[in-house]
Chains A and B, each alone.
Chain A
Amino acid sequence: MNQPADLEQLWKTQPVDPAVKGEDMRKIILKRTEKFDRTIRRRNIREMIAAAVVALAFTAVAWGQHNAIERAGSIVLVAGALWIIYYLWRHGTEPPDPNPDQTLAGYQNALVRKYDHQIRLLREVKFWYLAPIYLGLLIGSAGLLKELADKGTLTWSAFLFPLFYTLIFAGIWWLNEVYAVGKLRRMREQVASGLEDGETQC
């Protein structure tokens, strides 16, 4: 049987990757942090520009619109796009990672809380991002369909656009609420099961 000292020796003499100077590592982590912040900032700016374009375009549409229902749809869309800009400006930052300077159980609890928070944020996407735009599009489409019906020119092809954007919105909903939330849930379960292991066996 090996003595503990053997294990310690095997552990301490294991081959490791070449060393890096402290100053070089400091530069690497600063670059990493800046890159991460820049990615988030650029993503938010892209989303805000897209929402601003939508708001401007549908303001013009609402302005020249004679059909009251279509105009209402455009106004809802503009309001939704402005709301998205506000939301991203106000809450567009990633929640920080838990402070690692705590005991394992404390850190695991903090991780569970972080995952819960992220899951809640992803579940809210349908309310602050999808619903206002989708509602505006639905109202606008209803107005257009009514207009076509009044003129007697309503055909099945008029339903293609509503079907198209419904599928797009359903896809975005699925990505957020099923795929991303599912992934976070699995991570949360891993952490929670580790927490149970620590609690039951200590």
Chain B
Amino acid sequence: MVAEPAVAERPIESYNERFCELFEAYQPALRRLVSAYVVNPADREDLLQEIAAGIWKSLPGFRGDSSERTWVYRIAHNIAIRTSYQARTRSVREPGLETSFDHPSGERSAEDALLVGERQRALMDGIRELTVVDRQIVTLHLEGLSAAEIEEVTGVSAGAIATRLTRIRQKLSARVQGGRRE
């Protein structure tokens, strides 16, 4: 059996290529994740760059013990959480959701788009008000990760995740439905 070359022995070009592939594959999910932590466009870009740097630095240590997806999310969430602590300490009041970026559903009527925008704003506001653990769990869940995968990322047991998710989903649904603040 041919052994895998040690991580340190791999050529740097392979890391460059791997990083680019990973970043491009997970960029949409990472951008959604970033929106759950910061609202200001400059802060969002800054956080995305920090996450990318975290992935870049951690890549040589990735040995495939966990799936690539859970590995990327673990790094991204941890860095986002650290940044959100720093932002809260700086007492930065996050402005409302920016509406200047591209909207994927261009064919919607203006009224529908407005309604969907309102509901998305309510959802994002609700997510940002959650505790870091709840925020992490629900964003991973909304990205389509299973309870076992969320457990792998967060370290919270699958049973506790299910309990928490029920409560969080109810809270967020009420928020989206009514557009009200709890």
Q: Which residues in B have their C-beta under 8 angstroms from that of A15? A: 99, 101-104, 120
A93 within 8 A of B: no
The range of chain B's interface size is 35 or more
Flag if A2 contacts B53 (CB, 8 Å): no
B28 interface neighbour in A8, A19, A21, A194, Cβ under 8 Å: A19
**Bound CA span A111–B164, Å:** 24
Q: By the criterion of a CB under 8 Å from any partner CB, how many residues of chain A are at the interface? A: 48
Q: Which residues in B have their C-beta under 8 angstroms from that of A191? A: 85
Q: Which residues in A have their C-beta under 8 angstroms from that of B174? A: 1
Output the residue of A12, A16, A20, A100 with the most chain B CB within 10 A: A100
A14 interface neighbour in B27, B75, B120, Cβ under 8 Å: B120
Flag if A7 contacts B172 (CB, 8 Å): yes
Flag if B75 contacts A101 (CB, 8 Å): yes
**Bound CA span A25–B61, Å:** 20
A64 within 8 A of B: no
Flag if A8 contacts B144 (CB, 8 Å): yes
Q: Which residues in B have their C-beta under 8 angstroms from that of A16? A: 28, 31-32, 35, 101-102
With A28-B49, A29-B53, A103-B153 as contacts: A22 and B24 at CB distance below 8 Å: yes
**Bound CA span A197–B135, Å:** 12
**Bound CA span A16–B86, Å:** 23
**Bound CA span A12–B36, Å:** 12
B173 within 8 A of A: yes
B154 interface neighbour in A2, A11, A29, A104, Cβ under 8 Å: A104
Bitwise interface map of A from 29 to 47 toward B, beta carbon under 8 Å scored 1, else 0: 1001100000000000000
Bitwise interface map of B from 60 to 96 toward A, beta carbon under 8 Å scored 1, else 0: 0110000000010011011101100110110000000
A183 within 8 A of B: yes
A26 interface neighbour in B56, B62, B119, Cβ under 8 Å: B56
Binding site for A on B (CB under 8 A): 16, 19-24, 27-28, 31-32, 35, 41, 44-45, 48-49, 52-54, 56, 58, 61-62, 71, 74-75, 77-79, 81-82, 85-86, 88-89, 99, 101-105, 116, 119-120, 123-124, 131-133, 136, 139, 142-144, 153-157, 160, 164, 169, 172-174, 176-177
- 5 more contacts with CB within 8 A, not counting A1-B177, A101-B61, A183-B89, are A7-B169, A10-B120, A19-B28, A32-B53, A100-B78
